[in-house]
């Protein structure tokens, strides 16, 4: 007789954003892609999201499955629905989420002053679900993502047993969700939680710190970043805590949604292609130049950037390297938004070098796909990068990633050094340290590789065959969930 399928493990995923419903960065892509990847590992995921206006609209006529008479200042309800291929639980709390602007900021780009309460409410709802608030469904494991969900393990821990197992994933240690100690009672945390072994962090309440201290397991989004954050240089004052929890810390690489990012069936491209037909990228190069207003110069190496325009992403270094880039005869297409000074820098560079440099300040999902499918190389000069997804998209689309040797960038790109070129395993270029001279040296190496078309084509073919999906990482997550679920019985 065939072996019976294992009973699916019940998992509640808690996050502040989820693609395609709401997105400001890579967190949304990960939260949106994991449910389908975990289904193959017999993990049944329900994803809890704040009821922002766009999420409520997507939820449609969701079924009310729970009600809160007073959730941090007003009534709220949980809606269950199926949307974007996922089983969702939406926290409909108009006093917290029904407002213009983004998930975290108002229309003027300022943090909502009640963010501590807004995301504490999300965590409180997650903890209630974890303790059995929903009839007929109780998660065996709760997986909380980043500081916005960081108080979930705290509410579960201080709420007593029995409770589900908890996993906390830090996507970026730099964003920590600090709040003043005066909010302790308002956030429904008991007095004894305000301790170095609890939520206390530099005299206040640290939501990220709470997740790191009080969850059963910690994951982060690449093995190298997991090592980096245990050092004083990269640990953001949490390195000591992370070293003390080394046995619970796991670095698991992110992946990308290979259906959403599929050059063979991408409606945003001028021409579809795959690893067997990389030459079919050429119409996309022409389409990208035309859309960005770059000069039609098929022999010029066309570089792309799809990024937040911030110092963390090394965009100031790229601005300093523009003379070297232009000196190699390269062109540059930039898509992103971020720090005002950097936006102005790219705007000015595009005005000074029409036809050679183009910048679109904002975000455009279709243009992001066209840049990946049309540029020859993608620049990712980050000072630190927990994982990064844009370089994974670049690999799949045959745009050679040029990356700083940090975090997940170091784990996902094989440098085109002499040994890697000779053995035909290279997939892109790495450089270190993250400085302007090192980036300039990488651009020179890239220009030389461009001239060696046989090596370029071989590296491009390797890149397009590189594993960038979720299969291996989903298996690692599932193993952690099952281990926790067994110990929590």
The tokens for 367 are 């243009």
Residue 2 placed within a domain: no
Q: d(Cα 274, Cα 458) in Å, to the nearest integer?
A: 14
pLDDT at 421: 97
Number of domains in the chain: 2
Q: Which residue has the tokens 């992403």?
A: 313
Same domain? For 111 and 227 the reply is yes
Same domain? For 149 and 209 the reply is yes
CATH code where residue 39 lies: 3.40.50.2000
The tokens for 384 are 């630190």
pLDDT at 329: 98
| First-to-last C-alpha distance (Å) of the chain | 30
Same domain? For 382 and 298 the reply is yes
Q: d(Cα 333, Cα 327) in Å, to the nearest integer?
A: 16
Based on the number of CB atoms within 10 Å of its own CB, is 247 exposed (0-12), middle (13-18) or buried (19 or more)? exposed
Same domain? For 452 and 478 the reply is no
Question: 432-462: per-residue pLDDT in tens?
Answer: 999 999 999 999 999 999 999 999 999 999 9
Residue 3 placed within a domain: no
Same domain? For 106 and 229 the reply is yes
Torsion angles phi and psi, residue 12, rounded to 5: -105, 120
Instruction: Give the E-state strand segments of 93-231 in sequence order.
Output: 141-145, 165-170, 178-180, 200-201, 204-206, 217-220
Q: Which residue has the tokens 């979930």?
A: 152
Q: Which residues are annotated as a binding site?
A: 23
Angle, vertex CA 392, rays to CA 390 and CA 394, nearest 5: 70
pLDDT at 78: 98
Q: d(Cα 234, Cα 52) in Å, to the nearest integer?
A: 33
Same domain? For 176 and 272 the reply is no
> Are 386 and 222 within 8 A, CB to CB?
yes
The tokens for 35 are 């449910």
Residue ranges for the chain with pLDDT beneath 50: 1-2
Same domain? For 33 and 113 the reply is yes
Question: 322-377: per-residue pLDDT in tens?
Answer: 999 999 999 999 999 999 999 999 999 999 999 999 999 998 999 999 999 999 99
Same domain? For 235 and 373 the reply is no
pLDDT at 200: 98
Residue 93 placed within a domain: yes
Residue 144 placed within a domain: yes
Single out the residue of 171, 373, 386, 363 nearest to residue 261, CA to CA.
373
pLDDT at 5: 56
Q: d(Cα 443, Cα 252) in Å, to the nearest integer?
A: 30
Q: d(Cα 99, Cα 110) in Å, to the nearest integer?
A: 13
Statement: the pTM of the whole predicted model exceeds 0.85: yes
Residue 333 placed within a domain: yes
Same domain? For 248 and 273 the reply is no
Torsion angles phi and psi, residue 454, rounded to 5: -65, -45
Same domain? For 286 and 222 the reply is no
Same domain? For 156 and 48 the reply is yes
Residue 303 placed within a domain: yes
Q: Which residues are annotated as a binding site for ADP-alpha-D-glucose?
A: 23
Give the other-Cβ count within 10 Å of 376's Cβ. 20
Concatenating the DSSP letter of every residue in 263-328 gives: GGG-TTSSS---TT-GGGGHHHHHHHHHHHT----TTSPEEEEES-BSTTTTHHHHHHTHHHHHHT
Residue 1 placed within a domain: no
Q: d(Cα 420, Cα 3) in Å, to the nearest integer?
A: 44
Strands in 204-206's sheet, in edge-to-edge order, are 178-180, 204-206, 200-201
Q: Which domain does 278 fall in, by range?
A: 263-465
Same domain? For 421 and 404 the reply is yes
Residue 292 placed within a domain: yes
């Amino acid at each position: 007789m065939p072996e019976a399928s294992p009973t699916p493990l019940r998992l509640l995923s808690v996050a502040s954003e989820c693609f395609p419903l709401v997105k400001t960065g890579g967190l949304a892509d990960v939260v949106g892609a994991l449910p389908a990847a975990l289904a193959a590992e017999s993990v049944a995921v329900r994803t809890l999201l704040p009821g922002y206006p766009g999420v409520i609209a997507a939820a449609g006529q969701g079924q009310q499955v729970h009600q809160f008479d007073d959730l941090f200042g007003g009534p709220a309800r949980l809606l269950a629905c199926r949307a974007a291929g996922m089983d969702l639980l939406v926290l409909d709390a108009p006093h917290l989420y029904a407002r213009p602007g983004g998930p975290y900021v108002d229309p003027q780009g300022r943090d909502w002053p009640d963010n501590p309460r807004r995301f504490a409410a999300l965590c409180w709802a997650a903890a209630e679900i974890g303790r059995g608030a929903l009839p007929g469904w109780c998660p065996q494991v709760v997986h909380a993502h980043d500081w916005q969900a960081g108080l979930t393990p705290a509410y579960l821990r201080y709420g007593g047993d029995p409770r589900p197992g908890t996993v906390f994933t830090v996507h970026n240690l730099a964003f920590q969700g600090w709040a003043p100690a005066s909010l302790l009672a308002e956030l429904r945390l008991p007095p004894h939680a305000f301790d170095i072994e609890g939520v206390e962090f530099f005299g206040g309440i640290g939501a990220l710190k709470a997740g790191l201290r009080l969850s059963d397991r910690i994951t982060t989004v690449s093995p190298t970043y997991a090592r980096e954050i245990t050092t004083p240089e990269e640990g953001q004052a949490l390195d000591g805590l992370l070293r003390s929890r080394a046995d619970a810390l796991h670095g698991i690489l992110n992946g990308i949604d290979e259906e959403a990012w599929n050059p063979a069936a991408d409606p945003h491209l001028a021409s579809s292609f795959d690893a067997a037909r990389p030459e079919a990228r050429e119409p996309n190069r022409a389409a990208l130049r035309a859309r960005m207003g770059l000069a039609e110069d098929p022999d010029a190496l066309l570089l792309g950037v799809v990024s937040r325009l911030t110092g963390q992403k090394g965009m100031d270094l790229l601005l300093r390297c523009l003379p070297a880039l232009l000196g190699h005869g390269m062109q540059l297409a930039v898509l992103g938004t971020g720090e005002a000074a950097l936006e102005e820098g790219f705007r000015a560079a595009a005005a000074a070098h029409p036809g050679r440099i183009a910048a679109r300040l904002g975000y455009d999902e279709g243009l992001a796909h066209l840049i990946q499918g049309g540029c020859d190389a993608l620049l990712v000069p980050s000072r630190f990068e927990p994982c990064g997804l844009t370089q994974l998209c670049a690999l799949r689309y045959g745009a050679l990633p040029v990356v700083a040797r940090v975090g997940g960038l170091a784990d996902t790109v094989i440098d085109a050094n002499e040994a890697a070129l000779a053995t035909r395993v290279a997939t892109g270029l790495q450089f270190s340290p993250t400085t302007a001279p090192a980036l300039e040296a990488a651009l020179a190496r890239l220009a030389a590789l461009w001239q060696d078309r046989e090596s370029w084509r071989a590296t491009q073919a390797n890149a397009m065959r590189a594993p960038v999906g979720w299969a291996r990482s989903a298996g690692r997550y599932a193993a952690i969930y099952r281990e926790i679920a067994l110990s929590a019985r």
